[in-house]
Each structure stands twice: as C-alpha cells, then as structure tokens.
Structure 1
C-alpha cells in the first residue's frame, strides 16, 4: 500500500472521524459530551479544540493521555485500536481514497481484499461490487444532509470509476451499473442542496453510464429522474420529452412508471398545460395503485411523496386550494427530512397563493427551521418564492 506523509495513528484518527461523517468541529463537540463535569472545565472551547484536532490529524501533535481517552470514548474504540491497530493497509486506503470506513460493517479480511483490489483493479470481483454497494446503501439513508451524502458518494463514485475502467469483464458491467446509480443519487442530492448545475451534470453522468452498461431499465430510471429536475431546467418541453423517453425503453415497473408520469406532469404544469398535467397525474396514481414491485433503485414514490409532487404541479398551475388539500394529507414527518422541509415550503407557498396569510407564515416558519437544521437548500429556495402579502412583509423578512 502506498505510504502517506502522516503517522498511521493520525491517518486512523481522520478515517474514523470521516467514517462517522463528523466534521472536526463536530468531533470537538462530541469530546465535550463524553467528559464529566470536572474534565469539561479543563477542556478548551469547541473552536480551539477543533484546531487542536487539525494538528492531531496532520500528525503535528499527538493527543496526550487525557485527550486520547476522550477520543476512544467518542469513537467507541480502545486505545490500542486507535493508536496501534494492525490494519494499517485498511487505514491508508481509506485515508487516500476518501471512501468512508463504515464502522463494524465489514470484517478485516473483507477490508483487506478491497484494499488489494484498489491497488490492482484487475483483482476486482463480486465481493468488491458488494463492498461498494453496501457503503452506497448505508450512506443514502434519509437521516443525512444532502451535502453530507454528496461528500461521501463522490468519493465512492471515484473509487468505482477507477475499478470499472480497469476491472475484468465479468464485474466491469456490475461496477458500471453501480456507478450510474451512485451518480444519479449524487444528482438528486445536488438538487436537494439547491445546486441545479451540479444536479444536471451528475444526471448527465448517470445517463451516460447507464447507456454504456446497456441496461434499459437503469437508463429509463436515470431519464425519469432527470425529468424531475424541474427547477434546474429552463425548458418544460425538454422535461416532458425526457419523461416520455423513459417509458419508451420498454415496460416499466409500476413505481418507476408512476415516477415518469409524475415528472412529465411537472413539465406540463410549468408549460401551463392543465389538461395534460391532470391526465398524467391521474395515470401516475393508477400506477401507484398497482401491486408493489421489486424495482432495485432508491427513490421515494410513497403516497406522501406523490401528494407533494401533485401539489407542486397545482401550485404552478395557480390551483392553490387543491394543493393545500393534498399537502394536508401528507404529514411531513413521514417524508425524508429534506423532502419534508420542501413539502412544508410548498404548503407555505400554496397558503400564500390562497391568501391564507396566518397559515402561510406559520408553515413557512416551520419549513425554514427544518430546512436550516437539515441543510435542505432546495426548500430554502422555494421559500424565497413565497409571496407574503404586504401586511406580512415584516414576517417575510424574519423568515428569509
């Protein structure tokens, strides 16, 4: 394994922190949490402690005995594992690639096999594919901020890219398929993070890789998801064309068919075509009513998500009353956090358009608090569109 210019204990400290998706400041806060009252008084403020952590991770300073004990408590490891550990190769490849070390998910042998494959991609096999898929699945859970998912999945995607360029043919296609799924998830997280350019760029990457892998269902999935980037595209007709193209790849499973028709309806709504929008929404609801399918791709096509999308179409069409009725059926707490923030922002928008001022202000406050807490910048952008009437201008300044 290639050597690095920091001591192995410093590399391991950084790897353990990044695997838990903690910033240096968050690690500082956790060190304070695991202290007792007498110890806490002896520790510096979080800002100063975060600077000290940077010195530790660069190898410029080694934690003293007191700080070493606190680090072990925070990470849930013993001192030998943190400062001595035998798995130097595993630590170094995680340190060099940025691929997170998922605590407790893999055996030492599985980690070592993946590290050897990273050094020589022709060694990649089904276990390598399974390793990267497990990490991707673990970090696409709803509790993470979009920006956190982006940071993790970009490192994973870079690793998969290295493999599928040089891996042998038996596993190359599987890695290419995983890269396409990974790129599509990164695209969606850029979308939720309020970055339309990033969303489009990663969507293009996903479509290219799905096409190269010659997987019709995956290509349909990436096209359907691209058609849902309604606030990234300036051309509603293009959104409609993408959604239609997804269905032209063959018979789609019910949930994916519903997703495509959802997003086509969004394009029609943006174009002001009420009849076609309502027709596609009705067809989407019919697809969702069919028995559950085993589509392997990660996306939310629950009734709550369906109602949020439908309400968005109605808001664009000036039908605020119908949007409110739908959104009141979709409790935000059932949705992923960033989606819940966006649903609340949509509801605030609908209330404002319906001149229900008090409800709009209160809902916007809730949306703003949730969006700020979860990093849902797309929801923030939606709140900017909420037009609070003049007599509530004061509230609007407070909210935004």
Structure 2
C-alpha cells in the first residue's frame, strides 16, 4: 500500500471509528465551515461527494477542508478538545502527511485550530493529553504516588505543545494554556512521586516554569515572572544536567535585561549560564550562552570582551552537534543576530545591517517569528544610523505587524527605541504614517 492509499484509508477509518456515515461527516464539515466563517461553502450533498473521493484516494483535501477536518476531529464525540498523541486529531495530521501535505502546512493547520479553540475557550491542559492520559493525570494529582512515566510523558508533551505555539498565538493565550501544567508540576513535586521518576518530572517542571516565567514577562507581570524563574532555578539545581540550569539563567537574563535598569543583574545571570554551560552536555547551549555574554559586553561598550565571547560562540557553533540534548535551541542564524546587535553597539551599523539581514532570512519557522521581528527591528535601527531613515520606517511597518500578532514585549520595546531615533524626521509624512500604525496596532 502506498502512502496516498494509506492516507485515504486513515480518513475512512477515522470516520468509521465515530460510526459516522458520509452524510454525517459532510454535515459536520458544513457546520464547522459556518462556525469558522468559511465563505462559499458548498451544500452538504456536494461535500459528501468530495469526502467520498478523498476516501477512495481520488483527491486530497485542500487547505480549506484540511482546516475543517482538523476542527471537527479536534473535539471528541463527548465534546472534549483532544489534540494529544493517540487522539483523532493526531491521527488526522498523520493521515494528511501520508496524503502528501507538507509538515509546514500541517503545522499551520494545527495552529489555526488551536487559535479557534482558544477563541471559544476550548483549549486547555487536557486538550494536549492523550485520551488515556487525562484520567491518569487526574489520578496522579489526587495521589502523586500513582504517577507513572505515561503521565509524565503526557505532561512533557503538553509543555512542548504550548512552547511550539510561541510566535503563532498571542502570549496571553499561551499563558492560560500553560498555567495548569505548571500547577500540575508543583502538585506532583510536593507529593510522594516514585523516586525513579523524579528526574523526568523535574525536567518537565523546569521547562514549564521557565516558559511560564517568559510568558509572564511578555504579559507584563514581572513579579510572577521572578517567582517562576526562581522555581525553575531551584528545580534545575536538583538535576545533574548543567545545560538545563544554563537555559534557565539565559532566559531569566533576557527578561531581566528588559524589565530592570542596569546591566549588573543580567550580567550575573549570563555569567552563571556560561559557567553551567561549560560543564554541560549541550554545545549549542554553550554557544548561546557565549553569544548572550557578547551582547551584554557590547551594551557595556567592552569591545575586547565582545570579540572573545563571539569567538567562543562560533567555536561551539561550528563543533559537531550530534546527540546534543538541546539540538533546536540555537542556530547560526540566531548567532548572526547576536553579531548584529554587537556591531550596533560597538561597531559598524552597515555591517550590523547585513548580519541582521542574514539572520532574518534563516528565521522562518513559526516558533522563530518573535525573534525575527526583533532582528528586523534592529535592522531598521541600523538603517537609521546608516542615514536611510525612510527605508528604516518602511521596514518597521512589517515589524509592527509581527509584534502585534503575538503581543511580544521585547519587539515592542525595540520598536519604541527605533522610533525615538526617528525624532529628527518627526514632521515627515512617512513618520506620521508609522506613528499611526504603531498606535493602531500597539496603542503606543
């Protein structure tokens, strides 16, 4: 059986599992189209014929029907949202892959469904668990001694699922989706979880608290952010994995850099990250720690230290990364962005501009859109310093849109900084247009 035939069979199997006729599924898709305001939906009879062609392997659902199918199968027959492994939704995504739909398109469909579900308040912690995992987690929370590796695997997948939506959904929604996972980790850590499972639980708790600390910062709750980072730091200290401690310190350093005045506290956190990373197993985490150390040095106008730290970052970046436990955490594109920031503070803005352009060209994944907005904003700042303010304003328009999509705090801070440097041209029409866009999108 080839992939396309297997995909068609999977679509039919999904429908039969729910004991739905072709007509019932067709009406469900039409209803979903109405709920999602899909224009020009055909009649149920027409949709039924289309479904029949999919299941016979004669056609593949187009973008519109992929969304509608995902929306229908994201909810169980009992009305609960279920997106985790083993769910009908997960099986549909696999079927679409077999039918030749690219991973990027499947990811976009997944994000669109989660966005619609959060619009109506339907996506929560339980949505990301496996069907059996919901009952297992409830039992473990009532009695942590009943925790098993299946429950912890589900909990880790939930945190990963929320993390994967950074850049695709507003931070405030992600915060609401993640909060129950953070509370679940706290409850289990406070209870008598079987000793062999503690490292796995602590790893998930560190990931959850670190992400929650970042989300609290993005939604301007700095007090909650500090509490969550303190939790993550304590729990990471109980793990024999220094690279995880380094990751917490780096994330904490970045939010501290933008939520407090001065460089003393961010520098201390970055230095702690470098020390932890040097004894850890992740070369990529070490590269990122050195890159962040270079940025802090650049902001302090310490050019010699900047060059040393960047050299160490590239040394680690060019090393072999086989088996790296944090393989997707940092890339040459990210490092180019750090180089650009350093050039912007202590070097040549023209060189910084080119480095930002190289970095932005590689940051194409949904998860990287916040970082891309930051890089593009800094690229616009470089254009201002190169004597091209109007071109900078044109680039800033795209950055405003990206910042508004996620509600990101750092892109907004960088945008305001770039706008301040346009003050000499404040009477120009193109600056007024940018101000209108900033007000409409960000209220500032």
Both proteins in one fold, TM over 0.5: yes
| Residue 150 (str. 1) matches residue 192 (str. 2) | no
Question: Which of 160, 167, 177 is equivalent to 2:185?
Answer: 160
Q: Residue in 2 aligned with 1:247? A: 274
**Change in CA separation of 1:134 and 1:148 when aligned onto 2, cut-off 3 Å:** same
CA distance in 2, matches of 1:199, 1:317: 31
Q: Residue in 1 aligned with 2:310? A: 281
Q: Residue in 1 aligned with 2:364? A: 334
Q: Number of aligned pairs?
A: 331
Matched position secondary structure for 2:259 = coil
Matched position secondary structure for 2:377 = helix
Superposed, 1:169-184 pairs within 5 Å as: 169-184=195-210
**RMSD of aligned Cα (Å):** 3.4
| Residue 185 (str. 1) matches residue 211 (str. 2) | yes
**Change in CA separation of 1:261 and 1:206 when aligned onto 2, cut-off 3 Å:** same
Question: Which of 382, 391, 399 is equivalent to 1:367?
Answer: 399
| Residue 324 (str. 1) matches residue 347 (str. 2) | no
| Residue 32 (str. 1) matches residue 55 (str. 2) | no
CA distance in 2, matches of 1:214, 1:223: 16
Q: Residue in 1 aligned with 2:287? A: 258
| Residue 268 (str. 1) matches residue 297 (str. 2) | yes
CA distance in 2, matches of 1:180, 1:188: 12
Q: Residue in 1 aligned with 2:146? A: 123
**Change in CA separation of 1:291 and 1:77 when aligned onto 2, cut-off 3 Å:** closer
Shift of 1:179: 0.6
**Change in CA separation of 1:77 and 1:184 when aligned onto 2, cut-off 3 Å:** closer
Can you list the C-alpha shifts for 1:114-139, whole angstroms capped at 9, x where unaligned?
Answer: 33222222100111111101111122
Whether contact under 8 Å (1:164, 1:173) holds in the other structure is no
Matched position secondary structure for 1:234 = coil
**Change in CA separation of 1:232 and 1:79 when aligned onto 2, cut-off 3 Å:** closer
**Change in CA separation of 1:156 and 1:295 when aligned onto 2, cut-off 3 Å:** farther
Whether contact under 8 Å (1:193, 1:377) holds in the other structure is yes
| Residue 398 (str. 1) matches residue 398 (str. 2) | no
CA distance in 1, matches of 2:287, 2:168: 26
CA distance in 1, matches of 2:319, 2:41: 56
Matched position secondary structure for 1:248 = helix
Can you list the C-alpha shifts for 1:342-388, whole angstroms capped at 9, x where unaligned?
Answer: 11111112212222112201110111112222333321221111121
Shift of 1:191: 4.7
Whether contact under 8 Å (2:233, 2:249) holds in the other structure is yes
Shift of 1:261: 0.7
**Change in CA separation of 1:79 and 1:259 when aligned onto 2, cut-off 3 Å:** closer
Q: Residue in 1 aligned with 2:228? A: 202
Whether contact under 8 Å (2:242, 2:279) holds in the other structure is no
CA distance in 2, matches of 1:79, 1:258: 44
Q: Residue in 1 aligned with 2:10? A: none
CA distance in 1, matches of 2:417, 2:397: 14
Whether contact under 8 Å (2:126, 2:134) holds in the other structure is no
Alignment TM-score, normalising by the size of structure 1: 0.72
Whether contact under 8 Å (1:194, 1:381) holds in the other structure is no
**Change in CA separation of 1:179 and 1:77 when aligned onto 2, cut-off 3 Å:** closer
CA distance in 1, matches of 2:327, 2:235: 17
Shift of 1:289: 0.8
Shift of 1:190: 4.1
**Change in CA separation of 1:192 and 1:310 when aligned onto 2, cut-off 3 Å:** farther
Superposed, 1:7-26 pairs within 5 Å as: none
Question: Which of 315, 327, 331 is equivalent to 2:344?
Answer: 315
Shift of 1:324: 0.4
Whether contact under 8 Å (2:284, 2:326) holds in the other structure is no
CA distance in 1, matches of 2:382, 2:376: 10
CA distance in 1, matches of 2:240, 2:344: 38
**Change in CA separation of 1:285 and 1:191 when aligned onto 2, cut-off 3 Å:** farther
Whether contact under 8 Å (2:185, 2:205) holds in the other structure is yes
Shift of 1:158: 0.7
Shift of 1:176: 2.0
Q: Residue in 1 aligned with 2:95? A: none
Can you list the C-alpha shifts for 1:296-355, whole angstroms capped at 9, x where unaligned?
Answer: 348631112111222223323364222102012123552511111111111112212222
**Change in CA separation of 1:76 and 1:304 when aligned onto 2, cut-off 3 Å:** same
User: Structure 1, unaligned stretches of length 5 or more?
Assistant: 1-26, 40-70, 86-94
Per mean C-alpha deviation after superposition, the further-off stretch among 294-303 and 353-362 is: 294-303
CA distance in 2, matches of 1:207, 1:29: 47
